[in-house]
């Protein structure tokens, strides 16, 4: 056996004075990092298997466990960090690609943290959302250039034909995460929470499980390059259809669900044989231009009898504003932009950490481009990728987004501890796994309640911040960049974001 020249990343610390050898940790760790020795009546740890997901720490009834980053680190330099050295060794060992999951793990500037919100003082009154009505309702879809009315004997009615719209109780939706990448119980939690809170959830590219059809009025079904589970019934069991061109975590590449993660239920939902790899090609093989995209957009509109808005999701890349403009011209009712920090269930680390641009800049340039071209009303802008709290959401809306998609935040609400090991299929929290022993750990009754709590908490905070700015409807903040100021940003960044520097007056 070749010598292994890198050590475990984490160290499991067990306080023997508190350990009662109940073996809850042994039963809960899908990575087998805890081992019970019946002869010694003691529990031992195998640090090399620990992924730092904290399942054992949370479940330990006596709080005897603690996980830390192992103190033993490579000598390293400022540039040759421990993880850089570790990855080179791993690749020299295996000749493989370094896989990872979740969102970008490289420290790029976070523009949300460099944007400040405004508040009212003296000359304009702030509003108390507990005492006065505050509107978060958001309507997604193509808006007409103008409204025409007709007056028939004193009865006024709308003459303009309105295209289908989605109505959200708060400007937040759950982003696409496929059944396959996450468990059915995770899908159930998302669907139920979206249904009850009056927002929308997204199936991702893995089809819609039959048990979730009852949530159709709050479901966005996705059509991606693999076309898994797509047929006429699927398209029509929805409130909207989303064509996925790209994903923020891995722009330009497709997906690969290994055959081991395609059991019977997933095979039926995805409409592929059980045990076969589910490969999503990098491009849609029938889309090589905006004109091709238009054909698919209209094929879907035809298939759904023009009753559902069609979204097109693209990753935030260098030419995002031109591409988004093309997408609108292809007939999309909403453009979804997934930023650099967008998550994934599995991606090569080099793609996740190095490809794309931050969502903050993408929202700003796309919104500005649409206004310049006079097409802003023709499509909604939905931003995705890395929203951590309600302040990020409200800043995105002030930059010009109509609504945001939550992926990672929703998973964290369900129990995810962002250990970035989704691709192993051994998620101890029952989220990113299909192992029936693990999936039951996520009870959708609890999960949906937690998601609704998150939506409620963020909505209250958004109302508070709006009230502070003296605004009583989210609609009045949309694209209202005067309420934003930049700090620690250079001129070009502020120019792209379209915001003044902190200290500059109106």
Closest approach of another protein to the CB of residue 40, in Å: 14
Nearer to another protein (CB atom), residue 169 or residue 443: 443
Closest approach of another protein to the CB of residue 423, in Å: 21
Residue of 395, 471, 475 whose CA lies nearest to 170: 475
Closest approach of another protein to the CB of residue 185, in Å: 9
Closest approach of another protein to the CB of residue 183, in Å: 12
Closest approach of another protein to the CB of residue 501, in Å: 49
Nearer to another protein (CB atom), residue 19 or residue 89: 19
Distance CA 22, CA 32 (A): 16
Closest approach of another protein to the CB of residue 411, in Å: 17
Q: What is the DSSP letter of 179?
A: B
- Are 321 and 74 within 8 A, CB to CB? no
Q: What angle do CA 68, 74, 79 make, to 5 degrees?
A: 110
List C-alpha distances in Å: 293 to 207, 223, 285, 356. 21, 12, 11, 21
Nearer to another protein (CB atom), residue 235 or residue 266: 266
**222: Cα separation from own chain's centroid:** 14
Q: What angle do CA 114, 394, 317 make, to 5 degrees?
A: 65
- Would you tell me which residues interact with another protein (CB under 8 A)? 18, 20, 22-24, 27-28, 59, 61-62, 430, 435-437, 440-441, 443, 445-446
Distance CA 260, CA 237 (A): 28
List C-alpha distances in Å: 191 to 188, 351, 380, 447, 472. 5, 30, 22, 10, 29
Nearer to another protein (CB atom), residue 60 or residue 466: 60
Distance CA 25, CA 65 (A): 9
Distance CA 357, CA 368 (A): 16
Nearer to another protein (CB atom), residue 342 or residue 415: 415
Nearer to another protein (CB atom), residue 184 or residue 368: 184
Closest approach of another protein to the CB of residue 268, in Å: 19
Supply φ then ψ for residue 455, to 5 degrees: -60, -40
Nearer to another protein (CB atom), residue 20 or residue 271: 20
- Are 314 and 245 within 8 A, CB to CB? yes
Closest approach of another protein to the CB of residue 135, in Å: 35
Nearer to another protein (CB atom), residue 404 or residue 427: 427
Closest approach of another protein to the CB of residue 184, in Å: 11
Contacts of 473 (CB under 8 A, 6+ apart): 134, 135, 136, 466
Nearer to another protein (CB atom), residue 262 or residue 335: 262
Token duo for residue 411: 């998973």
Nearer to another protein (CB atom), residue 250 or residue 441: 441
List C-alpha distances in Å: 50 to 17, 37, 64. 22, 18, 16
Buried b (16+ CB within 10 A) or exposed e, 53-76: bbbbbebbeeebbebeeeeeebee
Closest approach of another protein to the CB of residue 453, in Å: 15
Distance CA 445, CA 448 (A): 6
């Amino acid at each position: 056996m070749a010598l292994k020249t890198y050590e475990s990343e984490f160290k499991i610390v067990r306080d023997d004075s508190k350990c009662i050898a109940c073996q809850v940790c042994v039963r809960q760790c899908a990575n087998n990092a805890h081992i019970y020795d019946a002869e010694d009546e003691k529990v031992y740890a195998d640090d090399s298997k620990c992924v730092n997901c904290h399942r054992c720490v949370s479940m330990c009834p006596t709080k005897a466990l603690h996980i830390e980053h192992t103190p033993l680190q490579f000598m390293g330099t400022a540039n040759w960090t421990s993880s850089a050295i570790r990855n080179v060794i791993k690749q020299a060992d295996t000749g493989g690609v370094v896989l990872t999951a979740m969102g970008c793990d490289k420290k790029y500037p976070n523009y949300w943290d460099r944007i400040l919100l405004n508040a009212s003082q003296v000359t304009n009154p702030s509003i108390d959302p507990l005492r006065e009505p505050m509107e978060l309702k958001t309507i997604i879809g193509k808006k007409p250039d103008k409204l025409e009315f007709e007056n028939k004997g004193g009865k006024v009615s709308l003459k303009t034909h309105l295209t289908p719209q989605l109505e959200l109780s708060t400007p937040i939706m759950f982003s696409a995460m496929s059944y396959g990448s996450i468990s059915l119980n995770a899908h159930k939690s998302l669907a139920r929470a979206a249904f009850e809170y009056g927002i929308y959830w997204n199936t991702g590219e893995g089809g819609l499980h039959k048990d979730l059809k009852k949530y159709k009025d709050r479901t966005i079904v996705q059509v991606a390059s693999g076309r898994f589970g797509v047929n006429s019934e699927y398209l029509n069991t929805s409130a909207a259809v989303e064509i996925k061109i790209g994903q923020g975590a891995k722009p330009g590449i497709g997906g690969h669900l290994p055959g081991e993660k395609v059991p019977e239920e997933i095979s039926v939902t995805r409409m592929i044989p059980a045990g076969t790899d589910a490969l999503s090609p990098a491009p849609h093989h029938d889309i090589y231009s905006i004109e091709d995209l238009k054909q698919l957009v209209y094929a879907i509109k035809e298939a759904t009898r023009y009753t559902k808005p069609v979204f097109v999701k693209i990753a935030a890349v260098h030419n995002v504003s031109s591409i988004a403009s093309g997408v609108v011209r292809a007939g999309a009712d909403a453009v979804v932009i997934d930023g650099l920090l967008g998550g994934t269930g599995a991606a090569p680390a080099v793609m996740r950490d190095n490809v794309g641009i931050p969502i903050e800049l993408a929202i700003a340039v796309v919104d500005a481009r649409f206004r310049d071209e006079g097409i802003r009303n023709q499509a909604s802008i939905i931003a995705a990728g890395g929203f951590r709290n309600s302040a990020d959401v409200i800043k995105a809306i002030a930059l010009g987004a109509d609504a945001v998609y939550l992926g990672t935040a929703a998973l964290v609400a369900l129990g995810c501890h962002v250990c970035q090991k989704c691709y192993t299929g051994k998620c101890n929290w029952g989220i990113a796994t299909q192992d029936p022993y693990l999936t039951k750990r996520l009870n959708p009754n609890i999960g949906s309640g937690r998601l609704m709590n998150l939506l409620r908490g963020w909505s209250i905070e958004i109302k508070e911040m709006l009230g502070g700015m003296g605004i009583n409807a989210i609609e009045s903040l949309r694209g209202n960049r005067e309420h934003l100021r930049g700090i620690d940003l250079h001129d070009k960044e502020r120019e792209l974001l379209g915001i003044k520097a902190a200290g500059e007056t109106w």
